[in-house]
Structure 1
Amino acid sequence: MITVAEGARTHRIDRRIYGQFAEHLGRCIYEGIWVGEDSPIPHRNGIRSDVVAALRAIKVPLVRWPGGCFADEYHWQRGVGPRSERPAMINTHWGGVVESNAFGTHEYFELLHQLDAEAYITGNVGSGTVAEMRDWVEYITLDGTSPMADLRKRHGREQPWRLPFFGVGNESWGCGGHMTPLHYANHYRQYQTYVRRYGELPIYKIACGANNDDYEWTEVLMATAGTLMDGLSLHYYTIPSGEWDAKGSATDFGEREWYATIDRTRQMATLLERHSAIMDKHDPAKRVGLIVDEWGTWYDPTPGTNPGFLHQQNTIRDAVVAALNFNMFHRHADRVRMTNIAQMVNVLQAMLLTDGPDMIRTPTYWAFDLYTDHHDAWFVDARPAPGDAPGRIGVHGEYTVSWRDDAYTISVTNAGLGADIHVDVELPARVTTVHRAAILSGDSASSHNTFAAPDTVRPADFADCKIDGSRLRLAVPARSIVTMRVG
């Protein structure tokens, strides 16, 4: 029994928890998003229309760009001005391919305009200068006359853009410079000074946070620079084997690998709790947000593809992983203000896969779709059955409940491969309206969509629910996600 008491609403679930990440990596930007203005693929100003339409349908709130590791070798002035005059570079992190810089600042903001999404830009600390970062912020946000504002206008953009989020470096403990926490903290203090506010709207400054369970990094950053940041990032990937050199297959796996993936995903809860506890010590008012700006499954690359492109298939296992993460983010949303799954198109745990003019939605895309009613809702701290931990149903079940617009949204995930989960949900008042009842499931653990069979995994109406006054009685099959919205 899950009991939803009146007044059990505790904190808001920020819609930015469902943020996306688009890096200059593999076929994410080029082919996945940008096809150019001369492409026969339907597009608007060079950005493919099918991708935009699909992402708008899941209400993408913001997009992190240009990286990732790429951010700390990206020099923004090479990506503005006439495309024919932009100098190319080598993408040393991801496949050693030539980066044309055809997709730069103006194209990024055009993408956001088409998505109706917010900007989250990561600046170059690893190989860039303070002046370069300062100039980029001025180029984007200054409304008036200045060298960078005038340059923007010459490039065709009279009005400044809105820049709500800015990250000062990426993975500075690794590909962003191999810095110690104190070294980076001092860099952050210096660089963030020049992420200036030129207008009325503030820029939310995000410091590079820890890799996985590096709690010392969080302690040093909060102690040394906590008063100068608005957010602190965290990166954690679900790797079934736990080994970087042999992560496991995205589609060829058995029961052992399935449950290893689920167990490693659930380690996110420990990371959120322990990093939050350190942040609470320095920031008891929870002013600084915990920003999980890279998360998701990471497997061995698809055989036959460039290993530096990080292309992988996406099964019902990935959808379940996404739902489990959402549930954890909801519970900790008093501190977790934003997350960004890696990545949006054609890379790692992608929403969409493209092949020339064709596009398919992955099971993870549909998991995002099932959770759209949780955006900006109130988290409801529903009581579990005796013996169950908060948010858990037995061994394999998990749930999350939210409230918005006089309706409750209940999402239940069965991460097991065997039996159905039977659960009763007791609401504070009689159910009079079912706004939504949907299920995402797979016939097998490796069920996935292909270009030949794009709808193998997609939501269906959920009928295995009985309503008795204020009580919902659900039977949730193995390897599935159910969402109900009732009022």
Structure 2
Amino acid sequence: MSNIVVPAIINVDVEGAVINRHLYGHFAEHLGRCVYGGFYVGEDSEVPNEGGIRLDVVEALRALNIPNLRWPGGCFADEYHWMDGIGPKVERPSMVNTHWGNVEENNHFGTHEFLALCELLGAEPYISGNVGSGTVKEMSDWVEYLTREGDSPMVRLRKANGRDQPWQVRFWGLGNEAWGCGGNMTAEQYAAEARRFGTYSRNHGDNKLYRIAAGANSADYAWTETLMKMLGELGCANRPAAFMQALSFHYYTIPGTWQNKGDATRFGPDDYYATLAQAARVDELITGHANVMDCYDPGKTVGLVLDEWGTWWNVEPGTNPGFLYQQNTLRDALVASLHFDIFHRHADRLVMANIAQTVNVLQAMILTDPDTGALVLTPTYHVFEMNKGHQDAASLRVDLPTGVPARDTLKTVSLSASRKNGEVLVSLSNLDIDEPADIELDLRGGAVTDVHARILTAGALQDHNTPATPAAVAPRTHDQVTATAGGLRVHLPAHSFVTVAGRLA
């Protein structure tokens, strides 16, 4: 049987919107073993650490050029009171994490520990403030504590806790999921709260806040419109409101029901295609929210942020159902690669995205074994690593014919491209379970030399990495890329992700 041949046109000399590096952001919530046992093992742990922060996790994430880390939630953010997480650890009061497992939280990982983690990672902090159960003063004080120089009550408190100089903390979330666990508010109720909290979250010195309002659940475009109405008159793009610079929305890939989401490693072809079709729906959702925003902000001064995304499966058997621990297969990796192609196409409006979550929770980058201390890089981790060259690169338009192979509504070939510093990076996914494809890249406006390619695939979609088999799904060199008169021909085996990089001649 001959391979399917798909032509694609890329104008390498016509730059589009810049792909914000923050589209490759991450999310760490006080949930299960994400923070405790994931990022943080404590200073007395035998696992190599700095101030209790696990150094092999740091090293792995630095290899991704991790741009930002969102914390402390999620739902946890709206019951977290930051003053409980500063000062000597033995004096910090404990709390109950009512959202995730009803476990006791000792607050040993707090503000200073999180900012130390971000410094080790070389990542910008993204802090979600407590709007649901907190106060305006509480959030205003937190901003001051972190970012103000000179002398003030919060500055003196920070210095008493061992930090003389302020941090740079641009990204602040005005609550989380206000329509649900963040307060069960209506859009109108939350809009009023966002105005207050955003107003009193002050810029101090040269630290200019980028305030992100808690946006919609999936396709709730009415919520987005309510928030956009706060900004001024219809179509007014020249007077952005000072209390909000972006708004978010959340979307998880769940092919099953909320009660039975499906299994992370035991699934058949129908489950697989249903999952990828659900993942592809994020294109429709970004388009919908962006269209609403365009009515009120045609100049695109307000950013759209997808600060929770990823697959959500039933927890692994025998684990705490409130800890959301799941395995991560090649299927999850292809969900990620498809998302990134879509994100790149919306780089004019979408300014940040945060996968849920970084360690040991949901579609994680890293899994740590609580018994042996072993660290495992997931297939999704490798997609982030292979794609990191897109960060802060100019997107390139990709034109595909109307006859792209499809399985029902799912197009089974996906690709995106960018250029930066004289190099071109093309990402290609073949989502078909059985059929390979050859992609004929017609590179117009320039030639590409010094081509090298990598591939991520496995013998089965269900394959995943474990401490015993840490490289069952791992990237390797891909030698099935050949030069043509117009550009390149790339062979994509079934269920594979490939990146092709080269230098513009």
Structure 1: gaps (5+ residues): none
Cα distance in structure 1, aligned partners of 2:34 and 2:141: 27
Structure-2 residue corresponding to 1:106: 112
Structure-2 residue corresponding to 1:131: 137
Deviation by residue 1:268-297 (Cα, 9 ceiling, x = unmatched): 000000100000000000011000000000
Quickly say closer, same or farther: Cα 1:394–1:314, change in 2 above 3 A.
Answer: closer
Q: Counterpart amino acid of 2:296?
A: H
1:273 to 271, 274, 287: 287
Displacement after TM superposition at 1:431 (Å): 2.8
Cα distance in structure 2, aligned partners of 1:395 and 1:159: 52
Structure-2 residue corresponding to 1:457: 473
Displacement after TM superposition at 1:386 (Å): 4.8
1:252 pairs with 2:266 = yes
1:182 pairs with 2:182 = no
Cα distance in structure 2, aligned partners of 1:329 and 1:346: 24
Cα distance in structure 2, aligned partners of 1:194 and 1:469: 60
Structure-1 residue corresponding to 2:328: 314
Displacement after TM superposition at 1:469 (Å): 4.9
Cα distance in structure 1, aligned partners of 2:449 and 2:197: 55
Q: Tell me the SS of whatever aligns to 1:409.
A: strand
Deviation by residue 1:394-429 (Cα, 9 ceiling, x = unmatched): 930000011111111111001110110111102133
Cα distance in structure 1, aligned partners of 2:375 and 2:320: 20
Cα root mean square deviation, aligned:
1.3
Q: Counterpart amino acid of 2:244?
A: M
Pairing of 1:69-468 with structure 2 (within 5 A): 69-225=75-231, 227=241, 228-241=243-256, 243-356=257-370, 357-388=373-404, 395-428=411-444, 429-434=446-451, 436-468=452-484
Displacement after TM superposition at 1:253 (Å): 0.4
Displacement after TM superposition at 1:468 (Å): 2.7
Deviation by residue 1:102-131 (Cα, 9 ceiling, x = unmatched): 000000000001000001000000000011
Cα distance in structure 2, aligned partners of 1:225 and 1:15: 26
Q: Counterpart amino acid of 1:334?
A: D
Cα distance in structure 1, aligned partners of 2:410 and 2:129: 44
Cα distance in structure 2, aligned partners of 1:158 and 1:385: 59
Deviation by residue 1:151-171 (Cα, 9 ceiling, x = unmatched): 000000000001110000000
Q: Tell me the SS of whatever aligns to 1:401.
A: strand
CA contact (8 A) 1:235 1:292 kept: yes
TM-score scaled by length of structure 1? 0.97
Cα distance in structure 1, aligned partners of 2:403 and 2:472: 37
CA contact (8 A) 2:276 2:410 kept: no
Displacement after TM superposition at 1:10 (Å): 1.3
Q: Tell me the SS of whatever aligns to 1:360.
A: strand
CA contact (8 A) 1:10 1:379 kept: yes
CA contact (8 A) 2:8 2:439 kept: yes
Name the stretch that deviates more: 139-148 or 394-403: 394-403
Cα distance in structure 1, aligned partners of 2:324 and 2:136: 31
Structure-1 residue corresponding to 2:3: none
Q: Counterpart amino acid of 1:230?
A: Q
Name the stretch that deviates more: 329-338 or 3-12: 3-12
Cα distance in structure 1, aligned partners of 2:93 and 2:34: 20
Q: Counterpart amino acid of 1:302?
A: E
Name the stretch that deviates more: 179-188 or 220-229: 220-229
Q: Tell me the SS of whatever aligns to 1:399.
A: strand
Name the stretch that deviates more: 192-201 or 181-190: 192-201
Quickly say closer, same or farther: Cα 1:431–1:314, change in 2 above 3 A.
Answer: same
1:17 to 7, 12, 23: 23
Identity %: 50
Q: How many residues align?
A: 482
Cα distance in structure 2, aligned partners of 1:97 and 1:29: 13
Q: Tell me the SS of whatever aligns to 2:138.
A: helix
Q: Tell me the SS of whatever aligns to 1:193.
A: helix
TM-score scaled by length of structure 2? 0.94
Deviation by residue 1:228-250 (Cα, 9 ceiling, x = unmatched): 31110010000021x11000000
Cα distance in structure 2, aligned partners of 1:268 and 1:467: 34
Cα distance in structure 2, aligned partners of 1:201 and 1:286: 22
Deviation by residue 1:64-98 (Cα, 9 ceiling, x = unmatched): 00000000000000000000100000000000001
Displacement after TM superposition at 1:470 (Å): 4.5
CA contact (8 A) 1:185 1:225 kept: no
CA contact (8 A) 2:277 2:410 kept: no
Structure-1 residue corresponding to 2:74: 68
Q: Tell me the SS of whatever aligns to 2:131.
A: coil
Cα distance in structure 1, aligned partners of 2:187 and 2:355: 24
Cα distance in structure 2, aligned partners of 1:384 and 1:152: 55
CA contact (8 A) 1:169 1:176 kept: yes
Q: Counterpart amino acid of 1:39?
A: S
Structure 2: gaps (5+ residues): 1-6, 233-240
Displacement after TM superposition at 1:464 (Å): 1.0
CA contact (8 A) 2:248 2:307 kept: yes
Q: Tell me the SS of whatever aligns to 1:58.
A: coil
CA contact (8 A) 2:456 2:475 kept: yes
